[in-house]
Structure 1
Amino acid sequence: MPADVFAKKRRNSVLLFLLIGAATAISIIITEFSIAKGVTSVPKAIQWSLSNFYPTKDSLAKLPDILVKLKETLLISVAATTLAGILAFVFAILGSNTTRVNAFFGGFSRGIAVLFRNIDVSIWALVLLFSFGQSSLTGYFALFFGSFGFLTRAFIETIDEVSSSSVEALQTTGASYLTVISQSVIPSTIPQMISWVLFMIETNIRNATLVGLLTGSGIGFTFNLYYKNLSYDIASLVVITIIISILSIELISNYVRRVIL
């Protein structure tokens, strides 16, 4: 029996690789992509970057303005993620199989999470442009909706996995619903939820750059402005500040995770 199972898994793996290979070949044919040209263009791209895409002494004069836009992007990312985390916790309580009030609210919460989670933040930005135009508010809501869907799903799974035994123990003693939430769910899940929120903040800072390109706000718009004006030295400085900020936020969030987990 073990040999048959191993052989079946091997056949399935081979079939999967063949399907992926066939899909790749068909895609190359349809798009007329040249692998050889793609490989040979890499050295040229590196050479151009080293020759043009680097900050100069003159570009440093724009650093204060860049930092202002970077601060705006960071604050929008943190604010959108924080509010999304608070609402996601409420929906996660209603959607978790462990703490849901009834099947209707559970299904509704999970459905909302699936809907918002599977729409990319760039799609949200494009949709919201019709309502709010190119503004920071559009970027805020795009990040908020994307974060809300992801965090709701993550929180539901966290509650289901972490607190099920303690919830059952309190329910057995006749504890009220709010007592179960405050005495069991929140204490046992809050460290993991904070970790998810920190992860989402990191992700949103990266997403905010793309959203800024679409909504005309923040550091993404600043990069797009200088890049289109062929000011590659200033554009490269924008990229460097983004990289430094992302790495700094990641170091801070990793430290916080080590403390709380």
Structure 2
Amino acid sequence: MTRPPPARGRTADVAALRLRYPDAFRVSWPARLATLAAAAALLGLTGFAMARLDFSATRILNGLGRLGEFSLMMLPPSAGGRFPDFLQALGETLAIAFLGTLTAALLAFPVAFLAARNVVRNPFAHFAVRRGLDVIRSVDVLIWALIWINVVGLGPFAGALAIACADFGALGKLFSEAVETADRRAGEGVAASGGSPLHRIRFGLVPAVLPVLGSQVLYFFESNTRSATIIGIVGAGGIGQYLTELIRVLELQQVAFLVLMILATVAAIDAVSGRLRRALIGGEAR
């Protein structure tokens, strides 16, 4: 068994290292002061936000008792004889999420190539497309739902349009980043064999990025199932309309049943889409 070196020997080694590499052991007081200033600013901002929002631990503790009462009122979950209606509304929510995600992906796919630096060399065109995607992505899906409700009226069509608009900006950005980071060797091979720029995109870039894009679309569909529930609360169709109505009249047992239906649906979609995403990425790796 090897014995550790004596403390005096270790001290001598450290001293030798200090002499050999003085920069590594030099204390950077400006960096330390900057770290302390950033930590103090963060604490100050947190305190200001808590005071501005009237944060109170007492209110939280008092609210926990009320939350317990609501939880007891939700037991046992019951459909109240409305299970067919709830099931139809859940199917409507899934249809909103599917149609909105599919529309956004189809629109974002060609735009992503215009936003990719390795496809569009013109910096002004590239900048304009990127900033346009940023503007669309900066508007939340709930705001899009309120806009489309006023344009096309209440119902699931407005919900699908809202998800399509919100996801168009996000998917366009993610797709363009996937195109920019794709392996260029296939495209260079197509160009070396006499292919045109369109051939380089079609046979070089698209096959390389398609598994990644498919994985991202599946994840967005899973996420949009929850988003479709939320926008239903403002009148964009789906199971969210039942949720807001039942919460308003305190039919909490039916609310609990709807929540369980949503949880089961999201869990099932997560399991299926997770397998599909792993298959796509695994196939790309092979």
Query: Same fold by TM (over 0.5)?
Result: yes
Conserved 8 A contact 1:54-1:237? no
Q: Identify the match of residue 90 of structure 1 among 110, 117, 120.
A: 110
1:122 offset after TM fit, Å?
A: 1.1
1:111–1:48 Cα change, 3 Å: same
Q: Which amino acid aligns with 2:50?
A: I
Q: Residue deviations 1:60-86, cap 9 Å, x none?
A: 522221111011110110111111111
Structure 1 counterpart of 2:48: 26
Structure 1: how far apart are the matches of 2:151 and 2:27?
55
User: Which segments of 5 or more consecutive residues in structure 2 lack a partner in the other structure?
Assistant: 1-22, 282-286
Further displaced range: 243-252 or 18-27: 18-27
Q: Identify the match of residue 51 of structure 1 among 72, 83, 93.
A: 72
Q: Which amino acid aligns with 1:113?
A: L
Residue 79 (structure 1) aligned with residue 99 (structure 2): yes
Further displaced range: 159-168 or 41-50: 41-50
Higher RCO structure (Cα 8 Å, ≥6 apart): 1
Q: Which amino acid aligns with 1:53?
A: M
Residue 164 (structure 1) aligned with residue 184 (structure 2): yes
Q: Identify the match of residue 242 of structure 2 among 214, 222, 225.
A: 222
Q: Identify the match of residue 62 of structure 2 among 36, 41, 56.
A: 41
Residue 201 (structure 1) aligned with residue 201 (structure 2): no
Structure 2: how far apart are the matches of 1:114 and 1:37?
38
Structure 2: how far apart are the matches of 1:45 and 1:228?
16
1:160 offset after TM fit, Å?
A: 0.5
Structure 2: how far apart are the matches of 1:255 and 1:5?
50
Structure 1 counterpart of 2:279: 259
TM score, norm. by length of structure 1: 0.90
Structure 1: how far apart are the matches of 2:212 and 2:273?
13
Residue 135 (structure 1) aligned with residue 155 (structure 2): yes
Paired residues for 1:108-119 under 5 Å: 108-119=128-139
Conserved 8 A contact 1:163-1:188? yes
Conserved 8 A contact 1:171-1:180? yes
Conserved 8 A contact 1:56-1:233? yes
Give the aligned CA root-mean-square deviation in angstroms: 2.2
TM score, norm. by length of structure 2: 0.83
Q: Residue deviations 1:135-170, cap 9 Å, x none?
A: 212111110011111000000000101233433443
Structure 2 counterpart of 1:16: 38
Conserved 8 A contact 2:104-2:168? yes
Structure 2 counterpart of 1:234: 254
Q: Which amino acid aligns with 1:48?
A: E
User: Which segments of 5 or more consecutive residues in structure 1 lack a partner in the other structure?
Assistant: none
Conserved 8 A contact 2:86-2:239? yes
SS of residue matched to 2:114: helix
Instruction: Identify, as 1 or 2, the structure richer in helix.
Output: 1
Q: Which amino acid aligns with 1:166?
A: A
SS of residue matched to 2:139: coil
Q: Which amino acid aligns with 1:68?
A: Q
Q: Which amino acid aligns with 1:20?
A: L
Further displaced range: 4-13 or 18-27: 4-13
Paired residues for 1:114-125 under 5 Å: 114-125=134-145
1:229–1:42 Cα change, 3 Å: closer
Report how many aligned residue pairs link the two structures.
259
Conserved 8 A contact 1:55-1:234? no
SS of residue matched to 1:61: coil
Q: Which amino acid aligns with 2:134?
A: V
Q: Which one has the largest radius of gyration?
A: 2
1:101 offset after TM fit, Å?
A: 6.5
Q: Residue deviations 1:90-146, cap 9 Å, x none?
A: 000111111227444423321221111111111111222321232212111110011
Conserved 8 A contact 1:98-1:164? no
Structure 2 counterpart of 1:148: 168
1:138–1:5 Cα change, 3 Å: farther
1:192–1:225 Cα change, 3 Å: same
Structure 1 counterpart of 2:88: 68
Conserved 8 A contact 2:145-2:236? no
Structure 2: how far apart are the matches of 1:4 and 1:183?
54
Structure 2: how far apart are the matches of 1:13 and 1:153?
33
SS of residue matched to 2:266: helix
Residue 210 (structure 1) aligned with residue 226 (structure 2): no
1:209 offset after TM fit, Å?
A: 1.2
